[in-house]
Amino acid sequence: MNKESLTITDNRTGVAYEVPLFKGNIRARDLKQIRRDPEDFGVMSYDPAFLNTASCQSKVTFIDGDQGILRYRGYPIEQLAERCTFLEVAYLLIFGELPDSEQLREWVNAITHHTMIPEYTKKGLEGFRHDAHPMGMLISTVAALSTVYPEAKNVIDPEVRRLQIIRLIAKMPTLAAYAYRHSLGYPYIYPDNDLNYAENFLNMMWKMVEPKYVANPVLARALDILFILHADHEQNCSTNTMRCIGSAQTDPYLSVAGAASALSGPLHGRANEEVLHMLDEIGSKDRIPAFVKGVKEGHGKLMGFGHRVYKNYDPRARIIKWTAEKVFEVTGRNPKLDIALELERIALEDEYFIQRKLYPNVDFYSGIIYQAMGFKPEMFTVLFAIPRTAGWLAQWEEMIRDPEQKIARPRQVYVGNGVREVVQTREKVTR
Ligand code: CMC
């Protein structure tokens, strides 16, 4: 008998099946051979919300949730945050290796020269209300790019894919900044090719009437580090959405729009915005115990806490705390930090959070830094979507190249009615 296998006995029939292990796991398809009788469909695995189901093999990102480890392509996140720029990391995620000098020059040059968005796409923003949420505007305009680049639908051509990857990474900051400027009624600022990725974004966000906007280098670097930390996180909700939509061979603009839509949920990428609202609601340190008591009694969640995979401190939250100190040296301390630190201290000593292994995640502190840098809470998820685009595209590229992948199509356990007849008891209403 193959030792790398499981023996499963069907107690209904007494038949034993040998199921091979694949890298320590079973393939759910191998369960199908287990049948009560020849007419039986066979056993499936039932796993709502994918609590224990791997949907792909991936070489992009490694997480050890118990140890609090995060690596992109094998490199620890701490080293990447300290030693690399976001564009180097984006290259690493997509191509698998850090670029050499020539590759980096070409890559940065390509991204820099694809930052413009067409004027008609820009004008499309005028159709949004002045108080439209920037995430809705970002999602809609990135989807609109699908109509600008119809060749993008040819997703099986690697060169076509490469060009769209460059365009998407280049244009997301422009779309994000334009969404923000629209909400203020300010004129849009065109990209500036003299600036690096983070500086260019800050320029498009904040430039007013000065001839040349100069970003504070500490803030630009802090933003670049935050981009690195948010760039990928293996098979989370939005990445799974990207892979799922992409598996239908949908073009990457529409797939990114779908992934960004998943990101905009409060349990996922919008948690950073919700943390700020929560800290506002708490208001002062003395009100924290009552707030925590309310959470434990089931009145809402402690936003920015808990994670499906991390059952330890989120390593990104540690780097963010360190980055916050650098930012506050420039901007002054955000008073919400004191409430957040006290909230973390109280939660980490509380039996409810200890038992459930609930620790601060990436969203707990990121909003406090963003706010100190001048961003409104509505922009926080947009700031998450910009770098995560690199991760979505790396996972999309990997999915398309994977010969095992097909259109994503889960099974279900049907629990509805059996067949029944329509009996006409109502009068017809036609309009
Ligand atoms: N506050 C209070 N209780 C919580 C929290 C929280 N933030 N998170 C989980 N719990 C409780 C939950 O009620 C459950 O308790 P019980 O066993 O008594 O029913 C237990 O902990 C397990 O939680 P779960 O909901 O089964 O865990 P999950 O893996 O399905 O959910 C999560 C993960 C991130 C959605 C959840 O922890 C959460 O809603 N956190 C707050 C929102 C948040 O910060 N999201 C950002 C996640 S990290 C970045 C990203 O993905 O964008």
Q: Is the CB of 214 under 6 A from ligand 1?
A: no
Q: What is the distance in A from the centroid of ligand 1 to the CA of 376?
A: 25
Q: What is the distance in A from the centroid of ligand 1 to the CA of 214?
A: 40
pLDDT for 318 equals 87
For CA atoms 160, 162, 166, 169, the dihedral sign is positive
Is a pLDDT exceeding 80 seen at residue 1?
Answer: no
pLDDT for 321 equals 85
pLDDT, mean over the chain? 95
Q: Is the CB of 379 under 6 A from ligand 1?
A: no
User: CB–CB of 370/202 below 8 Å?
Assistant: no
Mean pLDDT of 240-262: 98
b/e per residue, 342-351, with b = 16+ CB within 10 A? bbbeebeebe
Q: List the structure tokens of 30.
A: 């191998």
Q: What are phi and psi of 361, to 5 degrees?
A: -105, -175
Is a pLDDT exceeding 90 seen at residue 243?
Answer: yes
Catalytic residue check, 307:
yes
Is a pLDDT exceeding 90 seen at residue 86?
Answer: yes
Atom 49 of ligand 1, residue of closest alpha carbon: 268
Per residue in 209-236, pLDDT tens?
998 999 999 999 999 999 999 999 999 9
pLDDT class of 334 with cuts at 50, 70, 90: confident
Any idea how long the chain is?
Answer: 431
Catalytic residue check, 133:
no
Distance CA 248, CA 400 (A): 10
E strands of 173-244, at which residues?
A: none
Q: What is the distance in A from the centroid of ligand 1 to the CA of 431?
A: 46
Is a pLDDT exceeding 80 seen at residue 24?
Answer: yes
pLDDT for 2 equals 82
Of 166, 189, 165, nearest in space to 176 by CA: 189
Q: Is 66 helix (H, G, I), strand (E, B) or coil?
A: coil
Is a pLDDT exceeding 80 seen at residue 30?
Answer: yes
Look up tokens 């892979």; give the residue.
Answer: 243
Catalytic residue check, 299:
no
Q: Is the CB of 307 under 6 A from ligand 1?
A: yes
Q: Is the CB of 356 under 6 A from ligand 1?
A: yes
pTM here is: 0.95
Residue 70 C-alpha from the chain's centroid? 15
Per residue in 361-372, pLDDT tens?
989 999 999 999
